[in-house]
Amino acid sequence: MKPSARLPVLLVALLVQVPVLAAEPAKAPAADSKAATGASREELVAYLARIDKRMTFTSDYKGTVRIMGLSKQNSETAVEIHVYRRDKTRDLLFMTTKPKYMAGSGYLRVGNNLWEYEPTVGQWTRSTMRANISGTFTCEADFERSRLAEAYEPKDEGTEVVDGVTYRKLFLTGKPGTEVSFPLLRLWVDPDLNIVKRIGYAPSGKPLRTDIVRGYQRIKDPLTNEFVYHYKEVMEEEAEEGSRVLVRYDEVVLAPLDPSIFTKSWLESRSR
Amino acid sequence: MTLLLLTLQGVLARRRSWWVGLLAAGAAALLTPSLALVETIHDGTRRSLIESGAGHLQVYHSGSPETPVLLTGPGGAPELVPFEDFPATEALVRSVEGVQDVVPMEAGTASVFRGNYLDEKLAAVRAVTREPASEARDARLGRLAEDLRRTLERVAHDERQREQAFAGDVGLPEDRRTLEAVTADAFWVRFRTNPEAALEYLEERVAKLAGEGESLSLDYLGTDPVQFARAFPRFELLSGELPPPGSRGILLGQAAYEQNFKLPIALRLDELRREREHGGSFADERLKTQVERNLAELPDLLSRLDVERASALRATLVRVLGHEGELEPLLREFLSVEDGTFDTRYRLFYDELAPHLPLYRVRPGETLTLRNRLLSAANVPVRVWGTFRFRGLGGDTSQVNSTCLVDLVSARLLAGRQTREQQEEARALVAAFGMSKEQLSADTLGRPMIVDVEPQAPGAEAPVLERSEVAGSVSDEELRAGSVLHAAIVLRPGTSAEDVTVRLQRLVAERKQPLAIVSWEEVGGLFSGVVGISQLVLGVFAALLAFFVLLVATGTLLLLAKERVGEVGTLRAMGMQRREVFSSLLLEGLVLGGVGGLLGSGLGAALLLGLAGGGIPVSDDMLQFALGGAVLVPQLAVGHILWVVAGVLGVVMVASLVPAWRGSSVPPVVAMRRRED
């Protein structure tokens, strides 16, 4: 993680005071592992790679994400975002279509550059931080392909049995020099390799966000003819404010996208 | 009368007792000007705060976990519960006798991101590419492209220097290749045919080489700027205009404008001028460093100039320096100031050069995009209406002048609170999405639902959306009826804040309203603390002085009482009562303390008026706010002298009690025997 990206995360972490931490501290694994599998690092990396593969499209991707948020003060927000992504080149574009006052705004990532567009003033901001998306606390990484094996160093935390189902627990640490939204991550994975819960932590170990993955959609990738398990519904809870959002992924289109989509001119041309 | 005469005789006869009077005079001479100064500081800070936004009182929701503040600290804005119905609250407060105005407000901090000079330059070129096609546009684009190419050649040069400094950095070879590509002729041929694609390439690959850009913080008060300007007499508009009633936007505090948006070279020249006004010389290392920094930043300044400005600037420099030359060497010569040339160059800089420079990054009439990075709130674009300062409360670096004023709606959006219209739209969208609050309940672990989905075929092209304008105006109802966190109460002249507080509290209790009231001191935070500290220091100083006077006076009077045992015995033998002796000795203390206190207070007052009566100039911006203006004029009141004299008198009286009791308690027989001894 670059220092420029680490700073805001650290700042956020400093401000976060959350009871969840007390219940689920980001301590070193194995200490609380009652049934550690004792898997080697290579096995764990391979395990993460399998999870990544199941969630990665080879085709270009277009989808619509709808987010409902509820703040601690009980006020509602609703956002609809069109997501365009090309996993081969890590190009990513978000265009907010609803609500009206945010329509036309967006984020564009090309390589390591991330820009934010404000259509009311026609202004692009080259962002130095991985910002939250469209006024919610979902982040860029939620909409791109899974990069767990590339970006994190895994440690085994054994298993946890709930209602007769055994979930595997992994504790991941972001690799140096890698841009990740959460420097530390704890995962619960079901026997079919579906992530069912994850908690993102700041480097200090303070929890930032807890996600419950309630549903996946199984889609056949036309390029590989293999099934990809893509999120359908995720409930995210921000540790600091206690705000929650429900994220739904709809209307997935797997087909080649015009390269001009991943340009500033294209997003500008969407606002009249 | 006899007793008094006897006392006076005693005092005059024993010069050693005068030490007590001198002590009292010394203490009074020190305390009188100190008390006047502390009172003046208190009054200055009080006026500063009251007249620059705090008001005499502040009212807020009593259910709030914190209290309002005028300037937010590192912890961010205080957590306050909005009024349930601000218009009703305002009407209630206005009904209290003595209330002149009720100004809604909320404090916060916003951030503004600004890119590096290449980001800005590329954005300017991009704006030209968006203009309708015309010969004039193409000609301008051609000039800008040429200018851009020269700038990139400069960046390439810097990059080569960087490469020498950071040899071995894996990123550099790729950066070098990129720079070589964009400074080659072929790239600029492509630029002419497809400027947008070339710009994309420059923005993606090259702009980052000039630095990451930076995020600025702006402290703001969300309020009705027009009402604010009317209610607080220190408000002074410096540029632009007040927003028309019902308009949204921001008024930038002059210090925030200067420190955050001014060309760094100009800002440094201003600092040099301030230093010189305080006696600084270019022989000082600090001033020399500032000049060197200005020269080091010349490439950055040149990169910000488009070709038209650069030509005009060069022509001006040729004229004022009196010889030909290229722009950079001419600017270097102009900015290489020293004691003999600074004043002239400083004047020329603003009179002649500044019109050709991008002196400020944003000007009144333009738009700033604000954001609250601590919250997941959306961007809030606001029109800059102008700049202002609080009159007499520090200049371009004063903290109080760093505060900006934004409209209430923008402040709510920055704090993550939606407008009513946005709330209604959000509710409608949630329903349209088929979502409900119940779905937000936290689940424990459970296996996720897997649904099989057929990927959709590519459909219509992405929608083209209506671009909303930067919100210009808003209804008074939206401004006032939306959530308001606190409000400043400004009182009519001559009204007692304590009386209004009592009246308001009574009314709030009668109406059972959840309102709490705090004074300007609590809202002032750090600045009120300065007053508190000065009062505490004075209190400690006075207590130590009193203790010293008490000890020395008691010792001196005890010694005198011992010497006077024989005399007391004689007086007692002549029929004087013990009570009368006690009173006489106590009266001596009273005379010494009273005369000493009066003389000392008079001396202190004379010294204060003589030395500082015309006012003490205050040059420091921070102190100007704490002291209430650019000149501190100590206000000496009769009350100060009376308080000091009474205090000194009291201390000397207390010091006299034990000697008087000891002196009067000697039986005549013992006293006579002592005399015989």
Q: A258 to chain B nearest CA, in Å?
A: 11
DSSP for B285-335, written as a single string: HHHHHHHHHHHHTHHHHHHH--HHHHHHHHHHHHHHHTS---HHHHHHHHH
Q: Which amino acid is at A137?
A: F
Nearest to B369 among A118, A132, A213 (CB): A118
* Of A177, A23, A37, A191, residue with least CA distance to B450: A191
Q: A177 to chain B nearest CA, in Å?
A: 13
For position B400, what pLDDT does the model report? 82
For position A15, what pLDDT does the model report? 37
Q: B91 to chain A nearest CA, in Å?
A: 26
For position B137, what pLDDT does the model report? 86
Q: What's the average model confidence in pLDDT over B232-252? A: 92
Q: What's the average model confidence in pLDDT over A120-126? A: 79
Bridge-based pairing of strands A91-98 and B631-632 is unpaired
For position A7, what pLDDT does the model report? 38
* Of A97, A39, A91, A89, residue with least CA distance to A66: A97
Q: Do A126 and B208 touch (CB under 8 A)?
A: yes
Measure the CA dihedral B593/B598/B602/B605, to 10°.
Answer: 80
Coil, strand, or helix at residue A55?
coil
pLDDT at A78 over 50: yes
Half-sphere exposure of B427 (CA within 13 A, CB side): 9
pLDDT bucket at B132, cuts 50 / 70 / 90: confident
Cβ contacts of A215 on chain B, cutoff 8 Å: 448-451
pLDDT at B146 over 90: no
Please state the pTM of the whole predicted model. 0.76
pLDDT at B166 over 70: no
Q: Which amino acid is at B35?
A: L
For position A133, what pLDDT does the model report? 65
Nearest to B381 among A120, A218, A246 (CB): A120
For position A37, what pLDDT does the model report? 54
pLDDT bucket at A24, cuts 50 / 70 / 90: very low
Q: Do B468 and A101 touch (CB under 8 A)?
A: yes
pLDDT bucket at A207, cuts 50 / 70 / 90: very high
Hey, of A92, A101, A213, A253, which one would you mutate to test binding to chain B, going by the most B CBs within 10 A of its CB? Answer: A101
Hey, of B212, B379, B427, B454, which one would you mutate to test binding to chain A, going by the most A CBs within 10 A of its CB? Answer: B379
Q: What's the average model confidence in pLDDT over B641-661? A: 84
DSSP state of B439: G
Q: Do A188 and B445 touch (CB under 8 A)?
A: yes
For position B420, what pLDDT does the model report? 81
Nearest to B376 among A135, A251, A261 (CB): A135
Any idea how long chain B is? 677
Nearest to A76 among B126, B427, B450 (CB): B427
Q: Do B453 and A217 touch (CB under 8 A)?
A: yes
A196 shares contact with chain B (CB less than 8 Å) = yes
Residue of B nearest to A111 (CA): B204
Write down the residue that tokens 């709130």 correspond to. B377
For position B377, what pLDDT does the model report? 63
A89 shares contact with chain B (CB less than 8 Å) = no
For position A14, what pLDDT does the model report? 35
For position B623, what pLDDT does the model report? 74
d(CA B176, CA B35): 69
Q: Could you tell me if the ipTM is greater than 0.85? A: no
For A165, residues 6+ apart whose C-beta sits below 8 A from its C-beta are A190, A191, B445, B447
Cβ contacts of A255 on chain B, cutoff 8 Å: 455, 457-458
pLDDT at A75 over 90: no
Of all residues in chain B, the percent with pLDDT exceeding 90 is: 33
Half-sphere exposure of A142 (CA within 13 A, CB side): 34
Greater pLDDT, B630 or B83: B83
Q: Do A118 and B455 touch (CB under 8 A)?
A: no
pLDDT digits (tens, 9 = 90+) for B481-528: 788 999 999 999 999 999 999 999 999 999 999 999 999 888 877 666
Q: What's the average model confidence in pLDDT over B669-673? A: 65
d(CA B453, CA B588): 105
**Is the Cβ–Cβ distance between B477 and A129 less than 8 Å?**
no
pLDDT at A32 over 80: no
Q: Do A113 and B456 touch (CB under 8 A)?
A: no
For position B171, what pLDDT does the model report? 57
pLDDT at B170 over 60: no
pLDDT at A34 over 50: no
For position A2, what pLDDT does the model report? 40
pLDDT bucket at B647, cuts 50 / 70 / 90: confident
* Of B392, B390, B388, residue with least CA distance to B628: B392
Nearest to A104 among B377, B446, B467 (CB): B467
Cβ contacts of B447 on chain A, cutoff 8 Å: 165, 190, 194, 196
Hey, of B440, B449, B452, B466, which one would you mutate to test binding to chain A, going by the most A CBs within 10 A of its CB? Answer: B440
